[in-house]
Amino acid sequence: MARNTGTHGRGVRKGGYRRTAHKKIRHSTRSFKNQKDDFIYAVRSAGFGTKLIVGTVIVAAIMIGTLSIANSLNSISKKEEILAQLDQQILDQTAENKKLEDELKGDLDQLIEAKAREKLDMVYPGEKIFYNTAG
């Protein structure tokens, strides 16, 4: 048979086959269906140990994928809770800022007097304060 040298001198025989020590290997000129059939044949003809190993690897990959997705969902849930808390803090702080801005728009002397009376319990000289002790 004549050798096909179009594959960089690997010695591919006519018909697309290359000989190895124990079997023929078909080149990728075949259709996907034929490659799929070869794969199915290889799986069916594999021994029990090979099938067990392949099955174990597949199950492990599925478990790892499932755990990874569950971990990601848990992380997303925690981050959404944190985001909700931060949004609430923003709303609270915005309301506080609005209140302080409204106070600053008024007369500064009146603001100082009101804060001194409220926070420091200050009074004018001679001013009398009455407290309701009846309850």
Pairing of strands 17-19, 12-13: unpaired
Query: Which residues does residue 12 pair with via DSSP β-bridges, in sequence order?
Result: 4
pLDDT score at 70: 94
Report the distance separating Cα 46 and Cα 53, nearest Å.
11
* Domain locations along the chain: 1-45
User: Is 10 within 8 Å of 18 (Cβ atoms)?
Assistant: yes
Q: Cα(117)–Cα(128) distance, rounded to whole angstroms?
A: 13
Facing residues of 80 across strands?
Answer: none
Mean pLDDT, residues 125-132 taken together: 82
Beta partners for residue 24, in sequence order: 19
CA distance 38 to 28: 12
Across the range 101-130, mean pLDDT stands at 81
Asked whether residue 122 carries a pLDDT value surpassing 60, the answer given is yes
The strand pair at 17-19 and 24-26 is best described as: antiparallel
% the chain with pLDDT above 70: 76
Query: Angle at Cα 114 formed by Cα 108 and Cα 119, nearest 5°?
Result: 125
57 to each of 1, 9, 60, how far by Cα in Å?
A: 43, 38, 5
Contacts of residue 35, Cβ cutoff 8 Å, sequence gap at least 6:
28
**Distance, CA of 72 to CA of 67 (rounded, Å):** 9
pTM as predicted: 0.41
* % of the chain exceeding 90 in pLDDT: 32
